[in-house]
Chains A and B, each alone.
Chain A
Amino acid sequence: QVQLVQSGAEVKPPGASVKVSCEASGYTFTTYFIHWVRQAPGQGLEWLGIINPGGGGTRFAQKFQGRVTMTSDTSTSKVYMELGSLRSDDTAVYYCARDKGGDHYFDYWGQGTLVTVSS
């Protein structure tokens, strides 16, 4: 069965960077795009960007341009999202999600990774 398993919770000081991983299983890793979506406490959903795990191509929301990096490792079926210059309002649960058919809606989600930015 399809699974996306994310790395554990992180606490980072303002200005630092955080790197979250998402390990895929149960399907051919390079066949489906992966998106990253975040949710601040008690808030709605915000799209950060997309990565093609096979070719490594990425596209990011303009809001995060210059601050976010997404990479993939086909040998381990993992994708990574790194967010830098962290601020308190980056505190959120970060989800990876699989693109169902290349049309940018999401059929499988990771369990989420809580990133807390605090001094």
Chain B
Amino acid sequence: DIVMTQSPDSLAESLGERATINCKSSQSVLYNSNNKNYLAWYQQKPGQPPKLLIYWASTRESGVPDRFSGSGSGTDFTLTISSLQAEDVAVYYCQQYYTSPSTFGQGTKLEIK
């Protein structure tokens, strides 16, 4: 199975500041034939199911604010929140869907400083 490792485990930033979460996969999730990275990001708030933010590593889901962006390729990926808002407090997960079983990172808890 592909192991997904996120860093840091927790993060506290001030309102309006940039927040960066990293995700590393144990093997490449880039499919060479279509040049797509099979990597998604989700946001989960307490008591709620996860919400899809980003897929194909950098494609924002419809309705997701443009302060959320994804980047990276191969084995190293980043979720960036450009200007942190109070409603962004949540746990964030990356997911690889390159191979079965699909696997998730352990999560990164984002708080306001």
The number of chain A residues with a CB under 8 A from chain B is 21
Cβ-defined partner of A105 (8 Å) among B40, B101, B106: B40
Q: What is the bound-complex CA distance between A69 and B56, given in angstroms?
A: 30
Cβ-defined partner of B52 (8 Å) among A45, A46, A95, A105: A105
**A95-B107 contact given A44-B93, A104-B97, A105-B40, CB 8 Å threshold:** no
Smallest CB separation, A26 vs chain B (Å):
15
Say yes or no: is A47 at the interface (Cβ < 8 Å to chain B): yes
Interchain CB contact under 8 A, B100 and A105: no
Interchain CB contact under 8 A, B49 and A103: no
* Complex interface residues of chain A between 36 and 81 (CB less than 8 A to chain B): 44-47, 59, 61-63
Report the nearest B residue to A47, measured CB to CB. Answer: B102
The number of chain B residues with a CB under 8 A from chain A is 20
Say yes or no: is B17 at the interface (Cβ < 8 Å to chain A): no
Say yes or no: is A100 at the interface (Cβ < 8 Å to chain B): yes
Number of A-B contacts (CB under 8 A): 50
Task: Please indicate the chain B residues that have their CB under 8 angstroms from the CB of A110 in the complex.
Answer: 49
Q: What is the bound-complex CA distance between A62 and B1, given in angstroms?
A: 10
Say yes or no: is B77 at the interface (Cβ < 8 Å to chain A): no
Cβ-defined partner of B100 (8 Å) among A44, A59, A107, A112: A59
Question: B residues near A, CB below 8 A?
Answer: 38, 40, 42, 49-52, 55, 61, 93, 95, 97, 100-107
Question: A residues near B, CB below 8 A?
Answer: 35, 44-47, 59, 61-63, 95, 97, 100, 103-107, 109-112
Residue contacts A-B, CB under 8 angstroms, 8 given: A44-B105, A45-B107, A47-B102, A104-B97, A105-B55, A105-B97, A106-B52, A111-B49
